[in-house]
Amino acid sequence: MKKLIYITFLFFVILLSNCSKILDIEPSDRITGIWSSEDLVKAYVNGSYLSLENGFCFDMWGCLTDEMHAVHDAGTWEVQRGDLTADNLETTSRGNVRPTFNKWSLVYSQIRNNVEFFE
C-alpha cells in the first residue's frame, strides 16, 4: 500500500512539473516578427488587394440549377450531374480550382486578414 501511494505521488509530481510548457503562452498583444519590418507589413497589406475582383467578373449562378447548361466549365457540371460532394468541392473534373464554390471562404479569410492587420 505504501508503494502504491508513493507511485501515485510521484506520478502527480511528474505530471504537474510538465505543465509549465503548456502554461507558458506567448501574449497576443505583442508585435511579432512579421509586424516588426515595414517591408513585411507592406507585403501583407498589398496581398489583400490580390483578392479584390475586377469589374468584369461574372458568375452564372443559373448553371447551378436545372434552368441553364454551363459551357464554360466553371465547375457547375458536377452540380447538374449530382456529383458534388464535400470531397470534390474545391476542384473540377479537370483539376482546376473552382472559383464559384470557394468564393465565400476566400472572402471571409480576407476579412480575417484585414481584421488581424488593424488589430
Q: Give pLDDT tens digits for 78-109.
A: 666 666 666 666 554 454 545 555 666 777 88
pLDDT of residue 37: 79
26 domain residue, yes or no: no
69 domain residue, yes or no: yes
String of DSSP letters for 38-78: HHHHHHHHHHHHTTS--TT----GGGGTTT---SS-SS-HH
> 40 near 47, Cβ under 8 Å?
no
> 23 or 115: whose pLDDT is higher?
115
Domain count, the chain: 1
1 domain residue, yes or no: no
> 71 near 47, Cβ under 8 Å?
no
* Nearest-5° Cα angle at 17, 16 to 23: 80
Does residue 68 have a pLDDT over 70? Answer: no
3-state secondary structure of 22: helix
Does residue 3 have a pLDDT over 80? Answer: yes
Q: Domain span at residue 54?
A: 31-118
39 domain residue, yes or no: yes
44 domain residue, yes or no: yes
CA-CA distance, 70 to 75, in Å (whole number)?
9
22 domain residue, yes or no: no
